[in-house]
């Protein structure tokens, strides 16, 4: 699942159905949720990822893995219809892999995905030019069914994390004027090779990454400018489904919230406020979520958060709060 809030009074949710259709659900303040088919059945891989960005308030762009392993792009500009094209040809993406994207500046977008050979592939766009592609990491670098996440904490930088085939967590970072660099965030055996990754940058000089541990724990790694990466266990062994999703938001600069699917199908919430310790609760009870389903979250305004997850019956469930 992927969610965008391109303007504060609107949210848009994109998800892939079991039939390979891509569906769009949208909401505007004062109206009901509505929806339509963004791509027909058979278009998308039913086990592949989906991601989106809104680089400017009057536009949205969605990336998903095609049924033939292509990378597909659908885009919308206010006043026009949704359009689309093939960003990368058949066989470019793992049918079970994830996708992530950022827009670090309003006139640019970048997307990353896992290829069938375990390489990490990327494409970027600058206004006035065509999409270009490159390989961020060579074959064998990524688990073909593992998660991937990205953030742009400041306009001249981007950072990407993915699960290695050995259960490590790998990363790449870029600063304007330099080449991409890579490092290992967590060693071999640290992560579930089918697990998710989530990231937020709550303030420009900090980043926080969460991933599903190989033992079903939820692991946290955080960085502050001028220091090295540090980490801790956010939830103990057996807390998270090794094939489930994980999502996070920072609704205000001094707070973060993380959601993940437990092995019993419950949805768990962990939250943090500056000056306090991490706390948590059960957002949805056992059996509410598919243990191998997606999860997505957004904070469209500072006093609200909304989360969506796939249920065992194939429905999409919504939980929201206003503070």
Identify the residue whose tokens are 């919504």: 318
DSSP 66: B
Please check whether residue 216 is in contact with residue 239, taking contact to mean a CB–CB distance below 8 angstroms: yes
Q: Look at the alpha carbons of 127, 53, 104, 67 in this order and tell me if their dihedral is positive or negative.
A: negative
Per the CATH hierarchy, to which homologous superfamily does domain 1-142 belong?
A: Fucose-specific lectin (2.120.10.70)
* pLDDT of amino acid 134: 98
Output Rg (C-alpha) for the chain, integer angstroms.
18
Q: How confident is the model at residue 97 (pLDDT cuts 50, 70, 90)?
A: very high
Please check whether residue 248 is in contact with residue 296, taking contact to mean a CB–CB distance below 8 angstroms: no
Please check whether residue 112 is in contact with residue 120, taking contact to mean a CB–CB distance below 8 angstroms: yes
- 251-261 residue pLDDT tens: 999 999 999 99
- 51-90 residue pLDDT tens: 999 999 999 999 999 999 999 999 999 999 999 999 999 9
Please check whether residue 45 is in contact with residue 95, taking contact to mean a CB–CB distance below 8 angstroms: yes
Q: What percent of the chain has pLDDT over 90?
A: 100
Q: What is the mean pLDDT of residues 36-52?
A: 97
- 181-196 residue pLDDT tens: 999 999 999 999 999 9
Q: What is the mean pLDDT of residues 303-318?
A: 97
How far is Cα 16 from Cα 6, in angstroms, rounded to an integer? 20
Identify the residue whose tokens are 């500046």: 105
How far is Cα 267 from Cα 39, in angstroms, rounded to an integer? 29
The fold of the 156-173+195-323 domain, in CATH, is Neuraminidase (2.120.10)
Q: How confident is the model at residue 273 (pLDDT cuts 50, 70, 90)?
A: very high
Please check whether residue 125 is in contact with residue 78, taking contact to mean a CB–CB distance below 8 angstroms: no
Q: How confident is the model at residue 139 (pLDDT cuts 50, 70, 90)?
A: very high
Q: How confident is the model at residue 25 (pLDDT cuts 50, 70, 90)?
A: very high
| Structure-token pair, residue 189 | 């055996």
- The residue extents of the domains of the chain are 1-142, 156-173+195-323
Domains 1-142 and 156-173+195-323 share a fold: yes
Q: What is the mean pLDDT of residues 132-144?
A: 98
Question: Among 173, 170, 199, 162, which Cα is nearest to 186's?
Answer: 170
* pLDDT of amino acid 28: 97
> Facing residues of 306 across strands?
298, 320
């Amino acid at each position: 699942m992927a969610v965008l809030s391109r303007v504060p009074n609107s949210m848009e949710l994109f998800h892939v159905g079991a039939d390979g259709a891509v569906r769009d659900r949208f909401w505007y303040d004062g109206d009901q949720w509505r929806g339509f088919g963004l791509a027909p059945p058979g278009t998308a891989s039913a086990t592949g990822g989906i991601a989106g960005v809104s680089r400017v308030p009057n536009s949205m762009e969605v990336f998903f893995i095609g049924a033939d392993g292509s990378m597909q792009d659908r885009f919308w500009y206010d006043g026009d219809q949704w359009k689309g094209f093939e960003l990368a040809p058949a066989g470019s993406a793992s049918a079970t892999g994830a996708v992530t994207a950022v827009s670090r500046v309003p006139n640019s977008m970048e997307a990353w995905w896992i290829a069938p050979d375990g390489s990490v592939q990327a494409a970027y766009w600058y206004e006035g030019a065509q999409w270009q592609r490159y390989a961020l990491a060579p074959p064998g670098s990524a688990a073909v069914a593992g998660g991937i996440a990205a953030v742009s904490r400041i306009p001249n930088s981007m950072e990407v994390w993915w699960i290695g085939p050995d259960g490590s967590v790998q990363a790449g970072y870029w600063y304007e004027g330099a080449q991409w660099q890579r490092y290992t965030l967590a060693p071999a055996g640290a992560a579930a090779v089918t697990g998710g990754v989530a990231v937020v940058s709550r303030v420009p000089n900090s980043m926080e990454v969460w991933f599903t541990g190989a033992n079903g724990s939820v692991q946290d790694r955080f960085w502050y400018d001028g220091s090295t990466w540090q980490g801790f266990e956010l939830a103990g062994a057996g807390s998270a489904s090794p094939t489930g999703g994980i999502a996070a938001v920072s609704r205000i600069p001094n707070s973060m919230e993380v959601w993940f699917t437990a092995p019993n199908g419950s949805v768990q919430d962990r939250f943090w406020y500056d000056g306090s310790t991490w706390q948590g609760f059960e957002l949805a009870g056992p059996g509410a979520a598919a243990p191998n389903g997606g999860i997505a979250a957004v904070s469209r305004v500072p006093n609200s958060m909304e989360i969506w997850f796939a249920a065992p019956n194939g429905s999409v469930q919504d939980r929201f709060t206003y503070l």
